[in-house]
Structure 1
């Protein structure tokens, strides 16, 4: 099921895009656009090429300012970047955000396209 494109804003924390996944689903995300993560510099959803996120960011050791996701309000964050495919090990709402600690100096948004493919039922 392909869902309408959604915006993820750089100055907001975790944002639901209205997508619920179930364990076993295939989740596909594509993102485009740019946001201000470092003052005066625009970056895409892949994050800042020269700045890895520190330990106190929501997801350390990935490019700072990258698009990240999690399943459910307390799920473990994962790197999304420009695009990816994941097989769900848990069920819940998809949340997305920029990987940054201080959001008030950020600007812009990325547009995400989400597709969820549920496994085919096994014939009896």
Structure 2
């Protein structure tokens, strides 16, 4: 009884044997997960910045145009309250990335660090 091995299996097996040392030196799962989460968080921050800058700028431009239209014809249907609300929302959206970065650096990065150093407590009398 003769065993026949197809050429495809031999090529795949040879490729696996050649790549085996590289697979053996793969990163740990926590490093891969950390890198993936950093990529996701960076993409999320770019999306928030884009929405803040583009949306805020668009609202500010629309408010300036609305103010112009209101001054040209106050009875045209675009009220002054709508113009001011667009201006306020545009300013908030435009400043949101700066406020979020300031809050994250000032509030959330003041965490405890475990360095292994022991400190001696001294009491004054």
| TM-score class normalised by the smaller sequence | under 0.3
Q: TM-score, normalised by structure 1?
A: 0.23
> Could you say which structure has the larger radius of gyration?
2
User: Using CA pairs below 8 Å that are at least 6 residues apart, which structure has the higher relative contact order?
Assistant: 1
